[in-house]
Amino acid sequence: MKNKYTPVLIIIMIFGFVWVFLLVKAGMERVKGENIMNKKTVVAEADKNASPPDVETAIFAAGCFWGVQEYFSRVKGVIKSESGYTGGTKKNPTYEEVCTGKTGHAESVRVIFDPKVVSYDRLLQHFWELHDPTSLNKQGNDIGSQYRSAIFYTNPEQEIHARSSLEKLVKSGRYSQKIVTEILPAKEFYTAEEHHQNYLKKNPYGYCHIDLRKATDK
């Protein structure tokens, strides 16, 4: 004799299987969606941290980096300028350590620029203009090897241009004293502490050994 409840049980079982199937499918779709979002986030983060295309980097030392950074930030075609330390031997030096003169680092500025707007040669002209390249380990009121004059080239082409610009400056007879600017391959650049970044924007009347008006001269 057939159980009168059998058809009902079969229907319940069918609905149960369908419900489980739908739950599993929904879960798989949710995981897939999360994976897609995670991939998009990773790509977005990578894009955000990537350097803009067709930009170049120059590194200069010309005394206290407060003024040098502010100067280059005003030059048309410069995308970003950062104060930091380079040319020494100690990893991740602090400002206080660099000031002792024992780390070998120079207060420097890393300049990110668009070569289609401002050439490296033009930046070199600004570099020669903004400080005294005949002053050994001294600019303005600052004295010490950390305030030396230096060009740190980031590729062989920059070295050629830097040495050529130095040669032209020497031949020009502009300076009666010897130019002491170093021209060296770029080493690790250590970004200075946050309170040193854009110092003169935060402190408009702070110390500066540079005539900032020249940055925007045509």
Q: Which is it for strands 149-153 and 190-191: parallel, antiparallel or unpaired?
A: unpaired
Q: Which one is catalytic: 59, 61, 62, 64?
A: 64
What sign for the dihedral angle of Cα 131, 108, 120, 160?
Answer: positive
| Packing angle of the helix pair 120-130, 156-172 (nearest 10 deg) | 50
Residue 99: active-site member = no
User: How many alpha carbons lie under 13 Å from residue 134 in its C-beta half-sphere?
Assistant: 8
17: tokens are 């299987």
Q: Which is it for strands 182-185 and 106-113: parallel, antiparallel or unpaired?
A: unpaired
**Residue 135 CB neighbour total at 10 angstroms:** 19
140: tokens are 């303005």
Contact 148, 104 (CB under 8 A): no
The single residue listed with the structure tokens 């299987």 is 17
Contact 55, 185 (CB under 8 A): no
Residues noted as catalytic: 64
